Amino acid sequence: MLSVENVRFSYASGVEALKGVSLKVNDGEFVAIMGQNGAGKTTLVKHFNGLLKPTRGKIYIDGVDTTKTSVAALARKVGFVFQNPDNQLFSETVDEEISFALKNFGFDEATIEGRVSWAVNLLGISQYRKTSPFMLSGGERKRVALASVLAWDPQVLVLDEPTIGQDHQQKENLRQFIMQMQTQGKTVIIVTHDVEFVAECNPRVVLMREGKIVADGVGKDILTNSEVLEQSSIVLPQIAQVFMYLQMPELPANVIDLYEAKQLLLDVLKRRRRS
């Protein structure tokens, strides 16, 4: 379990980025943290693996106080993939990039080779194993960064804006991958502005504004609350907009999934034809 207890954080400039944030994330949960730029989303998740330490308050990972634990120790449990992959890539080849942490963690060569092969095949980058990551596209570099974290199999995976630079198929692959991680009991936390991607996944949504959590709940409930979304500068998902426009009493108000929307509309049309 990840537990955030009344955390405040101020940068050296004096800007208070987190203002008393409390949050609990259970093992195996999929959580999307959303909000406008400057809401404190990335600042919050950087606390989860000790990249930042609270000015006040506490954060616990499986009961371990992050302020009393090194980033290296926390990294075994919490894998973090930055929004900009160039902030974490540095090796000469994709192979070396993905195997670097495994070597530091003391894995043997056979295990390293197996985990690197698994990660590159999972993310569709096996053809680039001997290529410099800096020769790849932005989306490909992002997948290399993700592979380098997945290879050591952390219990908690934090992804900062994972869909930036990814096409529709890559986003669908990411969605399927997250679902797979959940079946394995992994905790996945994403920071994102991509409301359509979140609507397709329907995770728990934590909405932030000005360093505070202003909403927390089931995705389909948060993402159809036009008032709270507008206050956080987030637009309604397209399906929610369509259902709001239709204003049909037979339809529920909290629909964000395309396939659910299709079935509901077909059911309404069938009933109307029979009447």
List the beta bridge partners of residue 4.
23, 59
Domain locations in the chain as residue ranges: 2-221, 237-275
Which pLDDT does position 165 carry in this prediction?
79
- Answer whether residue 275 shows pLDDT above 80: no
Cα distance between residue 46 and residue 64, in whole Å? 16
The CATH superfamily of 2-221 is P-loop containing nucleotide triphosphate hydrolases (3.40.50.300)
Total-model pTM: 0.91
Which residues, in sequence order, are CB contacts of 151 under 8 Å at separation 6+? 98, 99, 101, 102, 115, 116, 118, 119
Alpha helices, DSSP H only, in 105-252? 109-122, 138-150, 168-183, 195-201, 219-222, 226-231, 238-246
Which residues, in sequence order, are CB contacts of 89 under 8 Å at separation 6+? 97, 133, 134, 141, 144, 145, 148
Q: List pLDDT tens digits, range 201-241.
A: 999 999 999 999 999 999 999 999 999 999 888 999 999 99
Contact 254, 220 (CB under 8 A): yes
